[in-house]
Structure 1
Amino acid sequence: MPLPPRIAAFHANGADRYGVVTEDGIIDLTPEFGNRFKGLQEVIEAGALDQVMAAAQGRAPTYREQDVTYLIPIARPEKLICIGVNFPDRNAEYKDGQAQPTKPSMFIRFPRSFTGHNGNLVRPPESEQLDYEGEVAIVIGKTGRRIPREKAYEHIAALTLCNEGTIRDWVRHAKFNVTQGKNWDSTGSLGPWLVPFKSADQLDDVELTTRVNGEVRQNDRTSNMMFDFRFIINYVSTFCTLVPGDVIVCGTPTGAGARFDPPIWLKPGDVVEVEATGIGILRNGIVDECA
């Protein structure tokens, strides 16, 4: 299956750059647009994603993929919102006897808690319980407040993937929040790139899979989400204004390491892949944090 049109943020030759990714390499568009748009966040904010990507047509790659370091696509989003427990089987894991929720769980992550494609997730010395969560993420491209469900997709600029890595024991430090388990530096990843959003087919029934060392651990379809993408945009925009560059990470299927008996935590040398049809594969290794 051919890869979709996609644009990535990356570091090469001592500078942060962005460009269109092809099967043969990356076409650097920073020389042409860098004075106007520092990064992809500024491209999104200006509504210029199609214009910038069109400039790559007919050009040869500037860099081989192996010669660059991928960065998270949106460097400094105003909001990076995560939706928790958004698949029925995932909800059933909690075994609390409660009916399926009518409103989503939510929490905030900091950009520094993520690394880019092919980077390493970092296991801190304070805990061995580093876990994976493969998810689809949407990038907002149009400002909105109280966005109607039927207009929700008009506010999406692009799609990407997330490994919403978690330090499991730290999410249980308090009764009503998970913030401290979700924001360790470089415990999650975003990327590899942005895929421009053009039609509902890109979101409504997409297969989402997470593999650890080649073994499938998570697999489901976005059509099974308890709170679909339209609902999420409508709900979140009710209490806060969504602006271009905001990232919403939309929930993970069952099968995280914490749910095995005994739990299977990520360890140095492991490789995690998150794949979604039409978006690509986000791949990361695991290392221990250096003292």
Structure 2
Amino acid sequence: MKIGRVEYRDETFYVQAIEDGARMLRIDGDIFGDYKVTDQELNCEEVRFLIPVDYSHRKQKLVQVYCFGNSFTLLRPEVAERYIREGKRDQSVNIWQRIFARPHTSLTPDGQSIPILPEDDNDLLHEPEVVLVVGKEGRDIPQGRAMEYICGITCGNDITTKRFFYWSSKGSGSAEGLAEIEASGETYYESGIIDPWKKIYDKTTHPDGMPTIVPWLGAKSLYGSIAPWMVLGEDINYENLDFDFKVNGEVRIKSNTHRLKPKTNLPEMISGLSHIVTLIPGDLIFLGTDFSTAPWPPIQVGDVLETCVYDRQKLLVKNCNQFVNP
């Protein structure tokens, strides 16, 4: 079942897609609890899509947006083969990763324009991702039951504002910090391991081992997008979903969720997250970006970004937004 959330004639409510969204029926109630699909059909021309989950308090708990970083294998196939031949360590099996949250206010609904602030021109990194939808509350979930807590998927773009993120060991600003790191020797991509974060952490670590850069809130609070629909309650092959990403119609990423690192599969990710926070219905979990084709040009004014997710060659969800001048 394909579910969205809309503003329609001064009301806000969930809708069910009919004919892949060509028609819509109103839903009364809470889609994560008691609800009813009515026979009220909407005039699609009057519909304005919102973020697909309701972020109001549910039983005194607020729905959250969680994100995983460094979750996909980072080796290009040809480099992985060379590493195997040479007996080198494949960083794609490194269990180390980062979990962070982003404010839901940073997610622009599908179809709406996203203004780029002047200070962020040439500074935005796109990160198209498959997004899981949590269906029931859970804490300390065992891996063997983790997928029982997921009720569907959507997709979005976990955009990074790099001026908050790239810092040097001296604490200088983004451009200077990045230049200092790159001037120090090997670039992030020179070795064939596409890991733009490792070099930064190597260069910005206190003697006690704590990284000096943790500016996730700033880097993730300004820009992002989310698809209009969630696909819920269907037989979704979560661990074998194709997804692709285009900028102005040009394909930049083609990947699949089976490229998640061997030691960071979906059950482990969900279980691990639930040991840090209590998951509640409606929480969104961004699974991370496949950086194997990086580096990419920064987002420009006028760019149209489109992310699509497929299950067994069937299009499930699509997210499309254009970046504009403020």
2:2 to 1, 6, 9: 6
Is it true that 1:269 corresponds to 2:265 in the alignment? Answer: no
Counterparts in 2 of 1:255 and 1:183: CA distance versus 1, 3 Å: farther
1:10 Cα offset (Å): 1.2
The residue that corresponds to 2:124 in the other structure is 130
1:179 Cα offset (Å): 2.1
3-state secondary structure, aligned to 2:299: coil
1:89 Cα offset (Å): 2.2
Task: Tell me which amino acid in the other structure corresponds to 2:231.
Answer: V
Q: Contact 1:159–1:197 (CA<8 Å) still a contact in 2?
A: no
The residue that corresponds to 1:188 in the other structure is 224
Task: Tell me which amino acid in the other structure corresponds to 1:105.
Answer: R
1:119 to 95, 105, 112: 112
- Give structure 1 stretches of 5+ with no counterpart: none
1:195 Cα offset (Å): 0.7
Q: Contact 1:141–1:156 (CA<8 Å) still a contact in 2?
A: yes
| Equivalent-residue separation in structure 2 for 1:154 and 1:170 (angstroms) | 36
3-state secondary structure, aligned to 1:136: strand
Describe the superposition over 1:232-291 as per-residue Cα deviations: whole angstroms up to 9, x where unpaired.
1110111222111211111111268x713xxx22222211110000422111111122xx
Task: Tell me which amino acid in the other structure corresponds to 1:10.
Answer: V
1:99 to 73, 91, 99: 91
- Residues 196-275 of structure 1: pairs in structure 2 closer than 5 A: 196-199=232-235, 201-226=236-261, 227-254=264-291, 259-260=295-296, 264-275=297-308
- Report the RMSD for the aligned CA atoms in angstroms: 2.4
The residue that corresponds to 1:175 in the other structure is 213
The residue that corresponds to 1:18 in the other structure is 14
| Equivalent-residue separation in structure 2 for 1:209 and 1:43 (angstroms) | 28
Q: Contact 2:54–2:282 (CA<8 Å) still a contact in 1?
A: no
Q: Once superposed, which parts of structure 1, at least 4 consecutive aligned residues long, lie more than 3 Å away?
A: 90-93, 97-100
Mean Cα displacement is larger for which, 215-224 or 201-210?
A: 201-210
Is it true that 1:74 corresponds to 2:59 in the alignment? Answer: no
| Equivalent-residue separation in structure 2 for 1:155 and 1:7 (angstroms) | 18
Task: Tell me which amino acid in the other structure corresponds to 1:286.
Answer: F
3-state secondary structure, aligned to 1:244: coil
Count of matched residue positions in the alignment of Structure 1 and Structure 2: 256
- Alignment TM-score, normalising by the size of structure 2: 0.72
Q: Contact 2:16–2:24 (CA<8 Å) still a contact in 1?
A: yes
3-state secondary structure, aligned to 2:218: helix
Task: Tell me which amino acid in the other structure corresponds to 1:99.
Answer: Q
Describe the superposition over 1:69-114 as per-residue Cα deviations: whole angstroms up to 9, x where unpaired.
2111123253211001211127999xxx983421321111001100
Structure number, greater radius of gyration: 2
1:116 Cα offset (Å): 0.9
Task: Tell me which amino acid in the other structure corresponds to 1:134.
Answer: P
- Give structure 2 stretches of 5+ with no counterpart: 56-61, 80-88, 168-211
